[in-house]
Chains A and B, each alone.
Chain A
Amino acid sequence: MRRRLIITFLAPALILYLGFVVLPAVRAFYYSFFQTSGFKDQAHWVGFGNYVALAGDPIFWLTVGNMLLILFVGGIAVFGFAFLFTILINSGLWGKKLFRALIFMPNIIAVVGLSTFWSFVFMPRYGLLTNFLNSIGLSGLAVIPWTAPEHLFWSMLVGLVWISAGFFTILVLAGADKIPTDMYDAARIEGATNRQMFRFITLPMIWDVIMITLILWVIEAIRMMEYPYAFGGPNIDQNLYTPAIYLFIMGFGQRQPVYELGYATAIGVAMFVFTALAVLVIGALTRRERVEF
């Protein structure tokens, strides 16, 4: 390949990427050292002031706590389902493609549609869950307000897991499909159970896939905004705040006229740092010999 072709082919992508992703990201770091409302007022240089304030802001730590819950509790559930579906679908079910398509389907629907559906599922008194529990005689459980503050986050997480599990099932399933089938045949002849085959063949063979999907999940979980935000309705409850939602509320105002652009940007920088750290940690933890075949 000639140099000229390489440059012509790379330049447009690089220019757009540098101009509209990298440069804004760098500027975000710069803005985070200022205090400004964005209303044409003079921005004050506050140095690390926004970060100091952030460190002492209980709401910020609440959002970090929620982020970690999504990351770990949500993550375990998402990957648990993804592996479960991979095992089940690959255990020789008829209609594999249909199931795969249906499990993935929520990922193509507008988030508002998904979140209002789930709000109606969990709604007290009129909700699907309450009606269902009543109809099977569990009226004790039916009276629990699933969207009350102490349960709200978990109700949100159920919907979130449901959507994300679809996405990650597809990834894990595709990885598993690349494993030569004769390995399973051989194992079956040896009398291995489904679980053993998953543990000793599937898992090691798709280790690299798992690492990549984990990184994708971490990125998703840390920047999570759309689903919890839409689930929260017009005046979102703080139990649902994620760092990204907090950033949005601090920077772009809700019903409360809070306009803190510098502070909001500092939250964004913190999110970036979390992502970088998490990716490094996963990289270190999952460093294993790759299985080549």
Chain B
Amino acid sequence: MLKAHVIRRSWKTALAYLIVGGWSLFAVLMILWIIIASLKTTRSLFGAPWTLPSAPAFSNYVKVWVSNRFDDYFLNSILVVSASVLVLLLVAVPAAYVLSRGKFLGRGAILNFFIFGMGVPVPLLFIPLVVLTTELGVIDTLMGLSIVYVSVSLPFTIYVLQGFFSSLPAELESAAVIDGCSDWQVFWHVMLPLAAPGAATVAILNFVALWNEYQLSLILISSPENRTLSLGIYSLITSMQYSGGNWPGLFAGVTMVMLPTIALYIFLSERMISGITMGGVK
């Protein structure tokens, strides 16, 4: 009796490992495949997509990095994404703090107003944003792109951060107030240090999201010298038409975009995952 139960249990566990493990393995397979594809020739990529290259063609990387100017795009991406994330934190952390801990009329309404922004489909904003940035003279500039990035990232960021602030114990705040701290001091010396892990998480999440973003940059950036990495990839794809189809080069580009996020992910996946769940799940 008991033995049968144990066998059934272990059989079930094995099945669980098989399902979860198979699914996970597929993710690893995909990463490996992209990297391997970046080292092949176009011919073997299409003729035998699931084999290893006979001799890895690292020249694909050199070509994309140098002649496709991925070195410049890399810098642009770093610049735009870090500046956006930094400004985003400067703007969103205080706002989320006030919206979660402040006591004033309309707090809930303003919070909801921000959260409502998560429901605005970004494609709706394409055309008005082109017109607006044109009027402001910041279209086709990295600064204009950063401003837009910060703005459209605000709803999600504030939503997550206010969830985080709400989960902090109220006693700390009141203790500080009793000790004679001003509201600014409470924020700066008590709440901000506590919020640091939350801020770090939204920073990572937004970094990854903006690093891979291409719709907004596609419509707002036109000069090649202002291209970000995802636009570099886009130009690799579009130049397949009428020009030599350099598919391994495309995958070399994808790998270059992917590696920083994967590196970030290996070290920080715990934090990222806990961050995503902070807003809604408290």
Contacts and interface: CB of A to CB of B under 8 A. Distances in A.
Are A and B part of the same complex? yes
B98 A174 contact: no
B30 A114 contact: yes
B269 A261 contact: no
Given A85-B23, A112-B254, A13 B50 contact: no
A20 B94 contact: no
A196 to B, nearest CB: 15
Interface in A85-142: 85, 88-89, 91-93, 97-106, 108-114, 116-117, 120, 123, 126-128, 131
Given A5-B98, A6-B102, A17 B155 contact: yes
A265 B101 contact: no
Most A CB contacts (10 A, CB to CB) among B27, B31, B150 go to: B27
Nearest to A248: B123
B1 to A, nearest CB: 15
Contacts of B131: 27
A31 interface: yes
Interface string B188-223: 000000000000000000001000101100010000
Contacts of B27: 102-103, 105-106, 166
Interface stretch (A53-61, A70-78, A217-225): A217-225
A123 B49 contact: yes
19 contacts: A10-B99, A10-B110, A13-B114, A13-B158, A20-B129, A25-B124, A103-B24, A111-B212, A112-B237, A112-B254, A126-B47, A128-B49, A131-B50, A178-B282, A234-B241, A247-B126, A252-B126, A265-B127, A265-B128
Given A28-B125, A91-B12, 19 more contacts: A16-B150, A16-B154, A17-B151, A19-B132, A20-B129, A23-B128, A24-B125, A25-B120, A27-B131, A91-B16, A103-B24, A109-B261, A112-B234, A175-B277, A175-B281, A234-B237, A234-B241, A247-B123, A279-B119
